[in-house]
Structure 1
Amino acid sequence: RAEMMILDIQRCDLNIENNNRSHHTELNGVERLIVRRGQTFTIILYLKPDSPEFRIGRTKLTLIAETGPSPRRQSDTKVSFSVGDSTVDTEWSASAITDPSGNTVSVCINSSPDSPIGLYSLTLTQGKQETNLGQFVLLFNAWCSSEYV
């Protein structure tokens, strides 16, 4: 059985300008990532030069999104989901592709259309290693067909 690879992440770009534009939140500025639930957004992981390359099946990435004062899975204020090869538009999910250079990994994240709105923190886990990727605000989405506004 092949050993799982741990990516050595230099930094995370929340891609705020592009994401806010595609989520119709660009008028709120570019200081903070503001996205709408049930719609994908993309973040970019910059790898250190000596990091192993990202490969589905060899690199197990799990994202954790948390909101509120005491996030819990039971109240849907804490969700964890694996990065796979495609996203699902009815639930929290993520997919990733590597830049041909191997230096960056673009992670496409979809939030559940019925997630609690609010300020979220996003964490990447690889085995026992955790990397804080940053924060984002999740809003209602009038453009999402499965949203009940």
Structure 2
Amino acid sequence: MALEISKVELHVKENNKEHRTDDVSVKRLMVRRGQNFKITLHTNRQFQPDTDTLIFTAETGPKPSEEKGTRCVFGYPKLTGAKKAWTVLVQESGRSSMTLAISSPADASVGSYNLYMREGSHATPQSITNMVLLFNPWCTEDWVHLPKETERQEYVMAEEGIIYRGSADRIGPLAWNFGQVRLQHMCVL
């Protein structure tokens, strides 16, 4: 009997807090690339690691493509040959549920992703979630990494700050609201 998903727990509150996105949203999964996030799948039977193969697909954009890095197929056990490979680890497995740790590569495309799973090569993919993947200045492998916490707080987490405007001869500071928390209202996400 194929493994089928009956319910998905995204642990949004916990994941978003760990990914420093809980100020932006507590309803939608918003995670940072290169860092694990946890999901729990409730299934019709117990997961059998020796015989079951979990195949995931993560896609972003209007025409997802493995060549362009906007589509990735990955799995448990690990699939070989995937470009920009995402990873999945089984953290816990019970009678009718399993908790997984999923991570994107640190250079994955940023955007709104659809995540699907199927068991085995012939099963129909089941939608797990639509989520947002953001850059990660805390991850040393991410090319936007900022080494100092003070920089991360000022450039990434601050809602308000100072910008400078004027001409080469006359520059002055101006208090500014960056509106970063309003990301949840942007239709591109």
Normalised TM-score (structure 1): 0.85
Give the one of 127, 134, 141 matched to 2:136.
Answer: 141
Moved over 3 A (4+): 97-100
- Deviation at 1:12? 0.9
Is 2:108 aligned against 1:115?
yes
Give the one of 30, 35, 40 matched to 2:36.
Answer: 40
- Residues 24, 81 of structure 1: alpha-carbon distance in 2 compared, 3 angstrom cutoff: same
- Deviation at 1:99? 4.0
Match of 1:30 in 2: 26
- Deviation at 1:25? 0.5
Q: CA RMSD in A?
A: 1.6
Q: Which one has a bigger Cα radius of gyration?
A: 2
Counterpart AA for 1:83: Y
Give the one of 98, 105, 109 matched to 1:105.
Answer: 98
- Deviation at 1:72? 0.5
Task: String of CA shifts for 1:92-146, please: whole Å, max 9, x gaps.
Answer: 110114444x121101101000001000000002232211001110001011011
Q: Comparing 133-142 with 120-129, which one deviates more in the overlay?
A: 120-129
Q: Which of structures 1 and 2 has the larger relative contact order (alpha carbons within 8 angstroms, sep 6+)?
A: 1
Is 2:89 aligned against 1:95?
yes
Write the distance in 1 (CA, Å) between the matches of 2:33 and 2:63: 21
Write the distance in 2 (CA, Å) between the matches of 1:56 and 1:81: 16
Is 2:13 aligned against 1:17?
yes
Identity %: 32
Does structure 2 conserve the Cα–Cα contact (< 8 Å) formed by 1:92 and 1:111? yes
Write the distance in 1 (CA, Å) between the matches of 2:96 and 2:45: 10
Gaps of 5+ in 1: none
Does structure 1 conserve the Cα–Cα contact (< 8 Å) formed by 2:47 and 2:96? no
Match of 1:72 in 2: 65
- Deviation at 1:52? 2.8
Give the one of 124, 128, 141 matched to 1:129.
Answer: 124
- Deviation at 1:57? 2.4
Write the distance in 2 (CA, Å) between the matches of 1:33 and 1:43: 10
